[in-house]
Structure 1
Amino acid sequence: MFIDDTIAAIATASGEAGIGIVRISGPKSIEIIDVIFEANNNKKLSQQQQRRITYGHIVDPDNMEKIDEVLVVYMRAPFTYTKEDIVEINCHGGMIPVKRILQLVLRKGARLAEAGEFTKRAFLNGRIDLAQAEAVMDLISAKTEKGFDVAFDQLEGALSKRVEGMRKVVLELLAHIEVSIDFSEEDVDEVTLDYLLQKSIELEAKMSNLLETADTGKILREGLSTVIVGKPNVGKSSLLNSLLRESRAIVTEVPGTTRDVIEEQLNIQGIPLKIIDTAGIRETDDIVERIGVNKSKEFFNKADLVIFMLDASRELTKDDIEIIEMLQDKKIIVIINKTDLPIKIDMEKIHQLIGEKRIISISLKEEVGLDELEKTLVDIVYKGDIKTKNNLMVTNIRHKDALEKAINSLRDGIEAVKRQMPMDFIEVDYKNVWDYLGEITGETVGEDLIDHIFANFCIGK
């Protein structure tokens, strides 16, 4: 498609830095830079060899004032990020130089780029598909090495190729269905139904296997929201400090020291954890502590994982049992802390109340048991396959939703084939599968959704 305007934006983060970059993309990119750039060799940039950095100055042609000393490179379409002519101006870092250069570029014919518009143009011009475009932001916001690797593979087209392979199978099945509809008088239905059933079952298995990666993929992309709960003084803040390897939370012998929520990001063996230390949950007459307890319950309800801590040196109380009752439908790890002290807690009772939940005995004072906790966290995320090398995962909730819809439509189609329903009925389900898979790569999505997706990007990307 042809886009007739030229956009520009600051492509580097704001603040003091070694360099700042102003990016221009569109049909007037070279024309604009030739007006405002004076190369040290006195040649226009359009007369220089493309993809080579040229030294010179950005100069305001209206008053011949030098704006900054720069290095500039231009790249001709279609072999660029957007498949349009692109110019990148490397100037001194800091808000003033990049802001002045951007304002000059806008005055000379460009308009300010919208959020994510450079990547949007790469998508609209066919250089990347929608799944690859979304991977760009995942790459930028990756919190761990594994998260980066997954995003990079998606940017390289790993997910797109898998989805396109599935769509090819669906297209082949639709072709057989069309033949049966067009030549319904011929004896092809029985052969076609057998073929459809076999191929559809194989495809459903592949799609389901891909869908199973979604929970792990979401965690690697967004982080595992983990809340530490328990009564006051069981060691919640000490656990946070131990995992962080620093004294982030105040630890005292006085129950109720933590009265507000403390949230930190950490990386455990490639897994991003958004870990939250909460106020101890108990009945209290202290107004401030009660507010903290209510906040704890709010975060508890939203968490992906709950670490429930108990004190091995104290017997179970009413407060403990009330917390356990709140945990029934949550994914949890139970930690029995202070095992270096005489054991008073009734472990048999805990097993009865907790059921099959994971229980780990530790001593934060003696630094015993943290390795097992970290291993358990990894095991939960990777569902036991902690040695997986597979970077092909569904990391985006939009992709997961489209894949679920595609699988449900395929299962409807399989059921219709088994019941030997008319081919035009069966065709509807398979066309739905085709469309839902196309939503992942962007081939069957509307303009409104595309605009919404790119609105979440940063300006300049």
Structure 2
Amino acid sequence: MAVHPATDTIASIATAPGVAGIGIIRISGSESLSLLKTCFVPRVPRDQFVSHKLYYGTIVNQQGQALDEALAVYMQAPHTYTREDVVELHCHGSYVVLQSVLQTLLVQGCRPAEPGEFTKRAFLAGRIDLTRAEAVIDLLQAQTEGAARLAVNQLQGQLYTRLEHIRQQLIGFLALLEVAIDFPDDDVEIFDSTEVSFQLREQVISSLEELLAWSEQGKVVREGIKVVLAGLPNAGKSSLLNALLQEERALVAPVPGTTRDTIEERIVVRGIPIHLVDTAGIRKYEDPIEALGVERARQKLEVADLVLFVVDGSAGMTQRDRDLYQSVCHKSHLVVINKSDLMTTRQLEDLFSSFPEALCIPISAKHGHGIDRLLEALFQTIVGGRGPRADQMTCAPNTRHRAVLLHTLEACQRFEQALIAGAPVDLVAVEIQSALDCLGDIIGLTTPDEVLDTVFSRFCIGK
């Protein structure tokens, strides 16, 4: 992000490109009201604009030509998103109209806002902490209802509250240590290592471990997982993809090798986004195009979070099935026995015995039998039986938070070990300060500028 004076007045289109009934232009900074008076002519003439009240009128350019009929609202600092004076112009949603209005504002002295700059100003003004700022982008990018709920929880300060509680506990420990350092010869024991160690374990370390566990679950809810369908040609992978999507997405034919490239689609299973990847059947090909498809299938398998290993149950377990299974069984996987409607109970049992350590799900992709059971097994495998429901999690730290929380936990564990070993209090204090610095990075108290720039660069322009 480029360096600009914090006193600049900024403007941008705040709504997504495209045809819409309404398009909003947002202005923030000390010149907001002046710009409003210059470019907006209210239907009922007036000298003053009352804060947080909509006015109907016409937007004009510097030559006085009408650009659009619009509603305008002036919001006086500090009761605004950025804690600066803010103006919003609610225009018709034509991109051409919005651009012409924006250009008029830029000519008159403000500059284009950068990605996330409105939210960055809110953070720098102390209106929100960094976790709440990041929740804004999570909410904008939420792909599922569960991800949106997690973002709203964080936006309402639930993660900040947990982190601030931990921080205050550590500050209390540090205060006791500093008193003990200042009065080393005092007859009264100021710092009870046993009690502090217990409180550290119960109130700090356990909370950090819980947040880290929620981080893993939250990542699944936000981003989902990649599930790759693998198996021999004609095992029914494409039919399974169609059954999971409930539409004819992939071509299906009795001739082996119909799928020559990967096909990627997305479904949501109980709030979890799942990115399905159908691959070419893996075997030796002489056709160079088919060989490329197989190579791409192997590449997708390497980065898969979960593999659905599809077996043609009507053909039984072949040596080629066994060889292929050995190449994927090291990954998290489910075995899907397709065409089970063509098998006897004894044949199913024999096939199950070929995968003694795997969960086998019999299905008929052609008729849709067993698909619901497969989806439930898929969900339980993803969440490990714990069920990462967004409404059961107070918050879910993101990837950046997780990395810093790990450093915080490590510092607290070193603090605990130093207490147990009876280390000098000044050395113990170093570990507490290290943990506090880490927490400061998460909520924005001590976050380096380059990290802030990275965080806000993820935003769209206008937010």
**CA 1:322 to 1:457, structure 2 compared with 1: closer, same or farther past 3 Å?**
farther
Which residue of 41, 45, 48 maps to 1:42?
A: 45
Report what 1:347 is aligned to. 351
User: 1:456, CA displacement in angstroms?
Assistant: 1.4
Report what 2:142 is aligned to. 142
Report what 2:92 is aligned to. 92
Q: How large is the Cα RMSD of the aligned pairs?
A: 1.8
Query: What secondary structure is seen at the aligned counterpart in 2 of 1:227?
Result: strand
The letter of the residue matching 2:282 is: I
| Post-superposition CA distance 1:82-105 (Å, at most 9, x none) | 111111111111210000001011
Report what 1:263 is aligned to. 264
The answer (yes or no) to whether the contact 2:217–2:388 under 8 Å persists in 1 is no
Query: What secondary structure is seen at the aligned counterpart in 2 of 1:15?
Result: coil
| Post-superposition CA distance 1:112-139 (Å, at most 9, x none) | 0111111111111111111111111111
The letter of the residue matching 2:177 is: I
Residue 168, structure 1, aligned to residue 168, structure 2: yes
Structure 1 residues 391-400 or 10-19, which shifts more?
391-400
Query: What secondary structure is seen at the aligned counterpart in 2 of 1:340?
Result: helix
User: 1:233, CA displacement in angstroms?
Assistant: 1.4
**CA 1:35 to 1:120, structure 2 compared with 1: closer, same or farther past 3 Å?**
same
Mapping for residues 236-315 of structure 1, pairs under 5 Å:
236-315=237-316
Q: Which runs of 5+ in 2 are unaligned?
A: none
Q: Which runs of 5+ in 1 are unaligned?
A: none
User: 1:404, CA displacement in angstroms?
Assistant: 1.1
Give distance in 1, aligned partners of 2:102 and 2:337: 58
Give distance in 2, aligned partners of 1:187 and 1:246: 79
Structure 1 residues 155-164 or 330-339, which shifts more?
330-339
The letter of the residue matching 2:425 is: M
Report what 1:400 is aligned to. 402
Which residue of 11, 25, 30 maps to 2:28?
A: 25
| Post-superposition CA distance 1:399-445 (Å, at most 9, x none) | 11111111111111111111111111111111111111222211121
| TM-score, scaled to structure 2 | 0.94
Give distance in 1, aligned partners of 2:416 and 2:294: 51
**CA 1:304 to 1:187, structure 2 compared with 1: closer, same or farther past 3 Å?**
farther
Query: What secondary structure is seen at the aligned counterpart in 1 of 2:44?
Result: coil
**CA 1:350 to 1:94, structure 2 compared with 1: closer, same or farther past 3 Å?**
farther
Query: What secondary structure is seen at the aligned counterpart in 2 of 1:351?
Result: coil
**CA 1:97 to 1:435, structure 2 compared with 1: closer, same or farther past 3 Å?**
same
Give distance in 1, aligned partners of 2:282 and 2:46: 72
Which residue of 441, 444, 450 maps to 1:442?
A: 444
The answer (yes or no) to whether the contact 1:116–1:459 under 8 Å persists in 2 is yes
User: 1:387, CA displacement in angstroms?
Assistant: 8.1
Report what 1:178 is aligned to. 178
Give distance in 1, aligned partners of 2:29 and 2:151: 27
The answer (yes or no) to whether the contact 2:212–2:397 under 8 Å persists in 1 is no
Give distance in 2, aligned partners of 1:327 and 1:190: 59
User: 1:149, CA displacement in angstroms?
Assistant: 0.5
User: 1:349, CA displacement in angstroms?
Assistant: 4.7
Query: What secondary structure is seen at the aligned counterpart in 1 of 2:230?
Result: strand
Report what 2:363 is aligned to. 362
Using the aligned pairs only, state the percent identity: 41
User: 1:348, CA displacement in angstroms?
Assistant: 5.1
The letter of the residue matching 2:142 is: A
Which residue of 5, 9, 13 maps to 2:8?
A: 5
Query: What secondary structure is seen at the aligned counterpart in 1 of 2:101?
Result: helix
The letter of the residue matching 1:102 is: L
**CA 1:392 to 1:71, structure 2 compared with 1: closer, same or farther past 3 Å?**
same
The answer (yes or no) to whether the contact 2:176–2:191 under 8 Å persists in 1 is no
Structure 1 residues 328-337 or 195-204, which shifts more?
328-337
Give distance in 2, aligned partners of 1:209 and 1:383: 16
Report what 2:109 is aligned to. 109
Report what 1:414 is aligned to. 416
Give distance in 2, aligned partners of 1:407 and 1:320: 45
Query: How many pairs does the alignment contain?
Result: 454
